[in-house]
Chain A
Amino acid sequence: MANKTDSNVYTVLFAIGMVIVVGSILAFLASVFNPQISLNKKLEKQQNILFSMGINEATLTNDEADVNTFVPTTEVTAVFKKYIKEQVVVEGDEVSQDSLAYLIDLKKETEKAKDPNYTRRLPVFIGEKDNEKFYIIPVRGSGLWDAIWGYIALNEDLNTVKGAYFDHKGETPGLGANIKEAYFYDDFKGEEIFDGNQFKGITVAKGNADPKNLDKTDHEVDAIAGATITGDGVTAMIKKDLAMYLPFFESIKNAAN
């Protein structure tokens, strides 16, 4: 029984037609939803930055139960304006103000920085709460499966960690994905990134002799069992990305003296 749908010409034409139709539908929908999706991403960045310096829903509600919840998206823009006093971009020796520094795409910057003539743009967010000043540094690296990133808030001494927040694209649920759980990132609070004048970073350490994280001067936090490579990724991203800011830290410390 020769059916017209069995011919090769028909099959090829059908395939081409289907690709065009489905492709256009998806492209149309993607462009319709894109503004909302990029707004969501923007608000999330603001939430993350505020969260790392200890501003969360509890700051607004005064309810201890909300400490691990972000500032709600409806209010985050106003709160961000209130607490983030300055956003600066470090380019080599130059430091400039840029109120959109939080939108700098670290992934693209890393790509561009492969060109030796390119000076990387390094964003820093300067927050202020209860008369204390914090420097918030974004970091980005790779975990086991995909990208991981986070924000490290440093106290005014540029040494002690005020707080940290990490997120990931596709780490294993229950293992590497737990870097975005409070029990992991809370351990960073109070850790120091310098040993005297020597930059040490913070290591996610297995067999850490200090699992309750009472020793704040060992530059180590306790690793997550079963997430070695994600943990190593966190260590590497903190060391590598904070190291790029060392000249900036130096200039601030010198200016203060």
Chain B
Amino acid sequence: MAEVAEQEEIVKVPKEPLFSKKNRKLITDPLTDNNPITIQVLGICSALAITAQLKASIVMAVSVLFVLGVGNVVISLMRNIIPSKIRIIVQLIVVAALVIIVDLVLKAFAYELSKELSVFIGLIITNCIIMGRFEAFALANGPWKSFLDGIGNAAGYGIILIIVGFFRELLGSGTLLGIAVLGDPIEKTGLYALGYENNGFMLLSPMALIVVGLIIWVQRSRNKALIED
């Protein structure tokens, strides 16, 4: 929470350029040192559920990017008129409406994909990162900064999702985006000719947690400042 409070103070400076150093930090911080998944440990549920395939990870990342980017702007524009007593409900309505729009667009223009992702698109509503950013940032900052913050956090979330999806699909199914990259496991070509086997365990949710754990380990061993006492 310390980082969040800091960001809120920074942004009161009037008339700064669109991509000032502080504004750029809004995007780059969540990618590394304040990553929503590896540092704040938010949004873990969806990171477990949908990362068995790279494609689903990418679509989820893009959907969250849209919902969080637009949602942060909407909440920020409304921040002075939202009654504080019902602000959480108002935030929920905004997320829910945006998610329904994403769902409709996918159903109309990417029907196959929307069938595959059906449940998970709805689950964006419950993604803690979104409510967290609305509450911690958009309610206190202007639209442009909120937009950058939304994009930054969604990208930080998406990058982890894509890394996890990459390793799980590669080691679990031997494919990437559905294309066989390690050879054919049935015909025993490529790597499989040498006796390599797919690790079916990678396809199960617990392995996502372990992969996220490994990412956290690598990140903290490279940047000691992130280690808590």
User: What residues of chain A have their CB less than 8 Å away from a CB belonging to chain B?
Assistant: 3, 5-6, 10-11, 14-15, 18-19, 22, 25-26, 29-30, 33, 36-37, 40, 44, 169-170, 173-174
Contacts and interface: CB of A to CB of B under 8 A. Distances in A.
Nearest to B101: A29
Contacts, number: 54
B17 to A, nearest CB: 32
Contact of B90 (A3, A18, A169, A174): A18
Contact of B104 (A6, A29, A170, A173): A29
A37 B114 CA distance: 11
Contacts of B85: 6, 11
9 contacts: A5-B83, A10-B83, A11-B85, A18-B90, A26-B101, A29-B104, A33-B104, A44-B111, A174-B204
A18 to B, nearest CB: 6
A15 B81 CA distance: 11
B105 to A, nearest CB: 7
Contacts of A33: 104-105, 107-108
A186 B127 CA distance: 38
A187 B46 CA distance: 33
B11 interface: no
B118 interface: yes
Given A5-B81, A6-B83, 18 more contacts: A3-B84, A5-B82, A6-B85, A14-B83, A14-B86, A14-B90, A15-B86, A15-B89, A18-B93, A19-B93, A22-B94, A22-B97, A25-B97, A26-B101, A33-B105, A36-B109, A40-B111, A174-B203
Given A14-B81, A44-B111, A30 B118 contact: no
Contacts of A174: 203-204
Interface in B103-132: 104-105, 107-109, 111, 118-119
B193 interface: no
A62 to B, nearest CB: 21
B100 interface: yes
| Interface SS majority for chain B | helix
Contact of B119 (A18, A29, A170): A170
Contacts of B83: 5-6, 10-11, 14-15
A46 to B, nearest CB: 13
Contacts of A44: 111
A22 B99 CA distance: 12
A33 B203 CA distance: 35
Closest 4 CB pairs between A and B?
A: A11-B83, A36-B108, A40-B111, A33-B108
A34 B162 CA distance: 32
Contacts of A36: 108-109
Contact of B100 (A3, A14, A26, A37): A26
Contacts of A18: 90, 93
A155 B86 CA distance: 62
Given A22-B93, A26-B100, A5 B84 contact: yes
Contacts of A37: 104, 107-108, 111
Nearest to B116: A173
A199 B108 CA distance: 41
A18 B81 CA distance: 11
Contacts of B90: 14, 18
B118 A11 contact: no
Among A11, A18, A25, A170, max chain B CB count under 10 A is at A18
Contact of B108 (A15, A40, A169): A40
Contacts of B118: 169-170
A6 B108 contact: no
A3 B79 CA distance: 13
B103 to A, nearest CB: 10
A167 to B, nearest CB: 8
Contacts of B84: 3, 5-6
A26 B118 CA distance: 18
Contacts of B100: 26
B81 A40 contact: no
A14 B94 CA distance: 14
A97 B109 CA distance: 33
A26 B97 contact: yes
